[in-house]
Amino acid sequence: MKTTPSTFSQNLYFVAQKFWRLMPSKFRSRIYRLRIALATDVPIIQNPTYADDGLISQHVTDFINNSKFIEAYELGRKTGALNQHPGDIHFRAYVACWAAKYALALDGDFVECGVGKGLLTRTIVHYLGFEGIPKKFYLFDTFAGIPIEDAIDKQEQKNMSFLNTTHFNNEYYEEVRRTFIKYPNVVIIKGRIPQSFSNVTLNRVSYISIDMNNAAAEIAAIEYLWTKLVPGGVVVLDDYAYGPEFMSQKKAWDRFAELNNFEILSLPTGQGLIIKT
């Protein structure tokens, strides 16, 4: 079979990512700082406490040394969700764990829309000891990639296609089912949103994680879930400000926030955070 330029580029990307992940984290940190210095006028940060996933910092990040968090994160990492990702996402996972722990004190179940291989949920359930908590964690996903026909513009379509090729190039429902088989209160629902919401009964919700890489589906999800989210309930948006390739999602979320009279907290991780008042 003849290799097209696009196929060659994708193969080269996969090889480069695997090679990059073999490099020690300190080496990756130094290369990242060099790239920043060469590409912008931002000064090099000496001895950063964190440098990964688009974020470099000198602030205190002692959560990275928390044995309970790291144990949970490593279990999440074993799902394979980061196999084609350039580095780790400790900070994003920490934000999700914080939000989930905060929501434990509230009435209502947990919901994740856009599960992927289950990295964040696997991290959270171990971190919280979720098997012993009287709540359910509902996981909604197609488990077969992002429906490209949902794209609202060419940039989003391009990003969806890239993510499908890079991360979601086969069905992974069975993988995810096996990941959570020891958690009887984790409920996995396969299908598209919002249609798949009809497969379960959701009454009160205290924690929502949304990472669908799909502006239309994300807004359909929050329009359904918003009235079920209890006062004080938290929503974590994984891609809210992550990069220009996700701008369709950010604009859609900003419109929803304006219509419902609240603001989304933009985090340096690229995530967005909402606490319902």
Domain range holding 104?
61-275
CA 227 – CA 215 distance, rounded (Å):
19
Q: Is residue 31 domain-resident?
A: no
Q: Is residue 8 domain-resident?
A: no
Q: Is residue 258 domain-resident?
A: yes
Residue 157 is predicted with a pLDDT of 92
- Does residue 151 contact residue 202 with C-beta atoms inside 8 Å? no
Q: Is residue 45 domain-resident?
A: no
Domain count, the chain: 1
Q: Is residue 16 domain-resident?
A: no
The whole-number average pLDDT for the span 178-195 is 97
Whether residue 5 has pLDDT greater than 50 = no
Residue 126 maps to which CATH number?
A: 3.40.50.150
For the record, the structure tokens of 174 come out as 């069975």
Q: Is residue 154 domain-resident?
A: yes
Q: Is residue 37 domain-resident?
A: no
Whether residue 73 has pLDDT greater than 70 = yes
Residue 12 is predicted with a pLDDT of 60
Instruction: Say which range, 8-22, 87-101, 177-191, 214-228, has the weakest mean pLDDT.
Output: 8-22
Q: Is residue 112 domain-resident?
A: yes
Residue 103 is predicted with a pLDDT of 98
- Does residue 103 contact residue 127 with C-beta atoms inside 8 Å? no
Three-class secondary structure of residue 41 per DSSP? coil
State the amino acid at position 215 in one-letter form: A
